[in-house]
Amino acid sequence: MEYILHLLVVLSIYAILATSLDILVGHMGVLSVAHAAFYGVGAYVATLAVLALRLPFVVAAMLAVVVGVVLCALISLPAANLRDDSLVIATLCVQVVASSVFVNWEGLTRGAQGIRGIPPPVLLGVSFAGPGRFAVLSGLAAIVAVTLARRTTSGPFGRLLHAIREDEVVVLCAGKRPAIVKIVVLCFAAGLAALAGSLFAGYSGYVSPTSFGLLESVLILSMVIVGGPGGVWGPLGGVLLLVLFPEALRFVGIPANVASEVRQILFGLLLIVVTIFHGESGLAPGRVLRK
């Protein structure tokens, strides 16, 4: 039972990550491999806020979101006018730099060994330690995040995103500025990723650089792609598949010393197969968009 609750926590954190990334990738057509960087920023900021600044969890989480948004704004301001392929490479740069900072700025992050002993969140006098209670917290956060994300992908804002995905020139002729919209959406997604990061820190009690590297970014991206980018429930389907399947593998009986490699090989193969499968429709839906 506790295992299932643990899975629920993991699922809800990834739900926030995948849904926020889908706004970028599926709806606005901007591929990013830097999502884990902001996930990590959120985790580390929340950790330091709780441990060093002795802030309560909710405030720490809010601070994490603010820092994530501000950092993203600074990085993306010059990037807004970049062509699509250059933008992807720029996100790669951001991710690698972030990983390097997480590992090497030891004064702040304690480097590769990470930071332990993060206390579980306490809200209104109630402690959310343990999977059971934390699942409530993370579940609620996920519902709020997904709802907010839905608001940006429907209505006039969603229409604008979809237009940017298809043809920025059309948007320009309508007197609108794709560059500004991109920055705003990038920062919004980064903020949600940072929120997920603070939840992670509060739940696991331990943050380290390996959780927030390029591989993690690619994992989140795969959840979006496998589930079906640009739809409504797509990313959540991808989350379910890519969180539960490796857990299921654990029961299959692959020897422990190769489990991690086998998992990653399967994951890499999945990426290849899925991108071939998507083919021309690529990472944006070739199907009808529903409101």
What whole-number distance in Å separates Cα of residue 44 and Cα of residue 258?
A: 30
- What is the dihedral angle through the alpha carbons of 254, 6, 58, 191, rounded to the nearest 10 degrees? 50
User: Among residues 9, 16, 31, 194, which is the contact residue for other proteins, using CB under 8 A?
Assistant: 31
Least separation in angstroms between residue 211's CB and other proteins is: 17
As a three-state string, the secondary structure of 89-141 is HHHHHHHHHHHHHHHHCHHHHCHHHCECCCCCCEECCEECCHHHHHHHHHHHH
CA distance 206 to 216: 16
Q: Which is nearer to other proteins, 5 or 184 (CB)?
A: 184
Stretch that binds other proteins, among 43-51, 57-65, 238-246, 254-262 (CB under 8 A): 254-262
**Cβ nearer to other proteins, comparing 126 with 140:** 140
Q: Which is nearer to other proteins, 9 or 98 (CB)?
A: 98
Question: Within positions 268 to 287, which residues make up the interface with other proteins, using CB under 8 A?
Answer: 268-272, 275-280, 282-283, 285
Q: Decide if residue 24 touches other proteins (CB under 8 A).
A: no
Nearer to other proteins, 4 or 273 (CB): 273
Name, in order, each residue with C-beta under 8 angstroms of 116's C-beta and a sequence gap of 6 or more: 205, 206
Q: CB of residue 52 vs other proteins: minimum separation in angstroms?
A: 23
Closest to other proteins by CB, 5 vs 88, is 88
Binding mask 148-187 for other proteins (x = CB under 8 A): x--xx--xxxxxx-xx--xxxxxxxxxxxx---x--xx--
Query: Which CB sits closer to other proteins, 111 or 237?
Result: 111
- In the structure encoding, which two tokens stand for residue 288, read together? 């009808």
* Rounded Cα–Cα distance for residues 145 and 151 (Å): 10
Which positions ≥6 away from 253 have C-beta within 8 Å? none
Q: Which two structure tokens, joined as six digits, stand for 11?
A: 């699922």
Q: By CB under 8 A, name the one of 52, 108, 143, 258 that touches other proteins.
A: 258
Q: 120, 205 in Cβ contact below 8 A? A: yes
Q: Which of residues 197-236 bind other proteins (CB under 8 A)?
A: 215, 218, 221, 225
In the complex, least distance from residue 228 CB atom to other proteins, rounded to whole angstroms: 15
- The nearest distance, CB 184 to other proteins, in angstroms, is 5
Least separation, in Å, of the C-beta of 283 and other proteins? Answer: 6
Q: Which of the residues 119 through 148 are near other proteins (CB under 8 A)? A: 148
Residue position matching structure tokens 């990590």:
40
Cβ at position 264, least distance to other proteins in Å: 4
What is the footprint of other proteins within residues 47-106 (CB under 8 A)? 78-79, 81-86, 88-90, 92-94, 96-97, 100-101, 103-104
Cα three-residue angle 15-22-204, rounded to 5 degrees:
30
Contact 207/44 with Cβ under 8 angstroms? yes
Size of the chain, expressed as the number of residues it contains? 291
Shortest reach from residue 269's CB to other proteins, in Å: 6
How many other CB atoms sit within 10 Å of the CB of residue 34? 29
Give the total of residues touching other proteins (CB under 8 A): 75
